[in-house]
Structure 1
Amino acid sequence: MSLNDNTTDGEVRRVRIREVGPRDGFQNEPETIATPDKIRLINALGRAGFDRIEVASFVRPDVIPQLSDGVEVLRGIDVPEDTARMVLVPNSRGLDNALAVRELFEEVALFVSASQTHNQRNINRSVEETMADVKEMGGRIVAEELTFCAVIATSFGCPYEGKVSMDRVLGLAEDFAAVGATEIGFGDTTGMANPAYAARFFRTALERLPGVEVTAHFHNTRGQGLANAYAALEAGCTSFESSFGELGGCPVPAGSTGNIATEDLVSMFHEMGVRTGLDLDQVIVAARQAQAVLGRKLTSHSIVAGPVLWPPDRR
């Protein structure tokens, strides 16, 4: 079965969800999260059944101090053997540092913004400079027999430039695929997507990227995150990213909320009869633990309401 087939076993549908809270979520927290707490939370996520977790980023410590303990976290976590650990790499130097501890992870993500302005402000490089580096880095990742994943930020709109052409986004995706990326994630970085466009986008992406795992990554800035995920699912997408507790987000625009909450996404899918392979109760436990560690109320609905008690578990 293709990873993007929407049905299997008759009427039963299945999706894959990567948990990105330990990287994409934690990096936006203003208070330093202690390394033992990070390890404990990631271990809790591992018990929920995730087969993919984004754990760390090899960025400069002075740029994102919150993630400066990435190697220590990777060494300290105890997740199931079949759980793929992902790291995010911003440039060749970051890849050098990552490959020095290559045994600690299985997946590497490279990223670019579809918008020139966002890419320049995010990593101080043009899109063209970033993609030139991607070609060399992609070859190294493939040579190491690691899973090469790509992330395209501002795929559904840029807070500086406004609308971003679908053709531009998918052209970048095709460039990633040409240098070995087997998964490409499309990020709604500031929550500018809507369900109608998300449906058109993922139908087109699946047509233009045969053999590539197409992943949806939505934010809930304007309250449309789950609706967008549903639209992507109906368009044929079966690979998603989300963050427990709705952690994460983007500093622009002001007041942006985080990624769609993993526990809310899983709850929706289970109620629809879509199988995730995840233990929703354990995802909620992990999110509530994160809430306790951070010492503030998190914004997911399932933390408060808990899972729907019927029908039976649909993992």
Structure 2
Amino acid sequence: MIKLIECPRDAMQGLPDFVDTAIKAAYINQLLEVGFDTVDFGSFVSPKAIPQMRDTAEVLSLLDLHKSQSKLLAIIANVRGAEDAFHFPEIDYLGFPLSLSETFQQRNTNASISKALETVETVQNLCQTKGKELVVYLSMGFGNPYGDPYSPELVAEFVQKLDDLEVKIISLSDTVGVADNELIKNLFEVQIQAFPHIEFGAHLHSRRESIAEKVIAGLAGGCKRFDGALKGFGGCPMANDDLVGNMATEVMIETLEGEGHSLNLNKAELGESMKLANYVFQS
């Protein structure tokens, strides 16, 4: 079964103007009506680094979770953020960005890769005792613009380290939109065959015209978990001055359904979410 992860947090986090807490909550509440597997709704990170997400706890208090089957995911960048997130039983998943690029790991979490791996181990151990699931995003998973080493073999080395820690969900992330279709297909195919007990996801960034072919490449490689954001808004503010947007969820839905996958989404609520997205991101 295909899992769609809707990422309003990723869409909002780089906006220059602060989105009012009530508006954030209203938008996320609307997304919770659609039927996405998971909603990546906020982050527990330094407000100096990502000021847009400084109200995540307040947003959470305004969410109506009683009718929704969607799970909640929050991003953390260190142990302190994880400990903050553990206070909220409503949160199902903690997401941690682990980079294959030393340059980007420093830019994104102000830590080395070796330090970040220590954090992953600590947070994973805590998640296992707190009843939450850790999702590790392998950022720069398809290459990077910084000249740091990259190869599919390096991806496999990182996956092996995470497997040793019993991490069960790994999202391969094309943080700056450099992946070509053949690499997407091959990378998922090799990793899924080597680690069949791990759930691999695709967190890709793309120009709108390339979204469908990237989804199809991921499917061909065996990927069944896809991250997106309505209208393709967002992009990592720590990655690059020339941001490449998120995968537009509506294009992914059209593509996945065109490939014969039933997504069990409420299309009326999806339409309302699209209208609200226009207000949130273009007002």
TM-score class, shorter:
over 0.9
SS in 2 for 1:202: helix
Q: Tell me the amino acid that sits aligned with residue 113 of structure 1.
A: S
Cα distance, 1:123–1:18 mapped onto 2, change above 3 Å: same
Question: Structure 2, unaligned stretches of length 5 or more?
Answer: none
Structure 1 residue 117: Cα displacement:
1.0
Contact 2:206–2:247 (Cα < 8 Å) also in 1: yes
RMSD of aligned alpha carbons = 1.7
8 Å contact kept, 1:33–1:66:
yes
Match of 1:269 in 2: 256
| Unpaired stretches in structure 1, ≥5 consecutive residues | 1-13, 297-315
Shift of residue 131, structure 1, vs aligned partner: 0.2
Contact 2:34 2:269 in 1 (8 A): yes
Give yes or no for contact 2:33–2:68 (8 Å, CA) kept in 1: no
Q: Aligned letter for 2:203?
A: H
- In the other structure, the counterpart of 1:310 is none
Give the Å deviation of 1:239: 0.9
> Aligned to 1:187, which of 165, 168, 173?
173
1:162 to partner: Cα distance: 6.2
Aligned to 1:219: 205
| Partner residue, 1:302 | none
Which 10-residue stretch deviates more, 78-87 or 41-50?
78-87
Report the 3-state secondary structure (helix = DSSP H, G, I; strand = E; otherwise coil) of the residue aligned with 2:275.
helix
1:253-275 deviation digits (Å, cap 9, x = unpaired): 43323111111101111122212
Other-structure match for 1:200: 186
Contact 1:20–1:241 under 8 Å retained in 2: yes
Q: Does the aligned pair in 2 maintain the 1:216–1:239 contact within 8 Å?
A: yes
Q: Which runs of 4+ in 1 moved over 4 A?
A: none
In structure 2, how many angstroms separate the alpha carbons of the residues matched to 1:98 and 1:50? 21
What is residue 283 of structure 1 aligned with on the other side? 270
* Residues 1:114 and 2:84 are matched in the alignment: no
Contact 2:208–2:248 under 8 Å retained in 1:
no
- Aligned-residue sequence identity (percent) comes to 26
Instruction: Give the letter aligned to residue 248 of structure 1.
Output: G
* Native 8 Å contact 2:211 2:252 kept in 1: no
How far 1:150 sits from its partner (Å)?
1.0
State whether residues 24 and 248 of structure 1, in contact with CA within 8 Å, keep that contact through their aligned partners in structure 2: yes
Q: Secondary structure at the match of 2:95?
A: strand
Question: Which is worse superposed, 192-201 or 157-166?
Answer: 157-166
Give the TM-score, by structure 2 length.
0.94
Which residue of 112, 126, 134 maps to 1:140? Answer: 126
Q: How many residue pairs align between the two structures?
A: 281
Relative to structure 2, which stretch is displaced further, 164-173 or 275-284?
A: 275-284
Instruction: Find the counterpart in structure 1 of residue 7 from structure 2.
Output: 20
* Correspondence list, 1:299-310, <5 A: none
Q: Which residue of 1 aligns with 2:40?
A: 54
